[in-house]
């Protein structure tokens, strides 16, 4: 059976901007770190370069700020190194249990958010 590893890449930018991406591949952590450093070196060479349609992300901007570097690093790892993006839904889990009758039960556990507007009341 193939063993896949998940790697989280994220950045924090001023004014609270944050983004994270989960990448998956059958590779070691050391290999991932080498690939990440190679992607970083590749992207650093793009600083100030205008991206034309069809190149890299094809966004037509100059690579100057962290979010742009981040997008290009993710692009490099996926397109040049074969990583795949994956999603993780923390709100759903599946619980396996064997009851008293030794029959396997599967239960879906789903977190929900309930939102109610709070209103000021003058009644007391």
Give all strands (DSSP E) within 1-124, no chain letters: 5-12, 18-25, 84-86, 92-98, 104-110
Per residue in 61-102, pLDDT (tens digit) is: 556 788 888 988 999 999 999 999 999 999 999 999 887 778
Which of 3.10.28, 3.30.70, 1.10.760, 3.40.1350 would CATH assign to domain 5-86? Answer: 3.30.70
What pLDDT, on the 0 to 100 scale, is given for residue 7?
Answer: 97
| 94 vs 121: which has the higher pLDDT | 94
Distance CA 65, CA 72 (A): 11
Per residue in 17-57, pLDDT (tens digit) is: 899 999 999 999 999 999 999 999 988 887 776 666 555 55
Answer for the pair 60, 51: CB distance below 8 angstroms, yes or no.
Answer: yes
| 60 vs 14: which has the higher pLDDT | 14
Answer for the pair 109, 95: CB distance below 8 angstroms, yes or no.
Answer: yes
Answer for the pair 4, 32: CB distance below 8 angstroms, yes or no.
Answer: no
């Amino acid at each position: 059976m193939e063993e896949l590893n998940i790697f989280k890449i994220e950045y924090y930018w001023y004014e609270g901007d944050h983004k994270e991406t989960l990448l998956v591949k059958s590779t070691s952590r050391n290999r991932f770190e080498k690939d990440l450093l190679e992607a970083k070196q590749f992207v650093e060479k793009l600083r100030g370069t205008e991206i034309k349609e069809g190149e890299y992300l094809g966004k037509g901007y100059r690579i100057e700020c962290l979010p742009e570097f981040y997008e290009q690093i993710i692009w490099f790892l996926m397109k040049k190194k074969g990583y795949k993006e994956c999603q993780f839904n923390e709100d759903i889990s599946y619980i396996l249990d064997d009851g008293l009758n030794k029959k396997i039960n599967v239960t879906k556990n789903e977190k929900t958010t309930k939102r109610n507007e709070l209103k000021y009341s003058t009644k007391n």
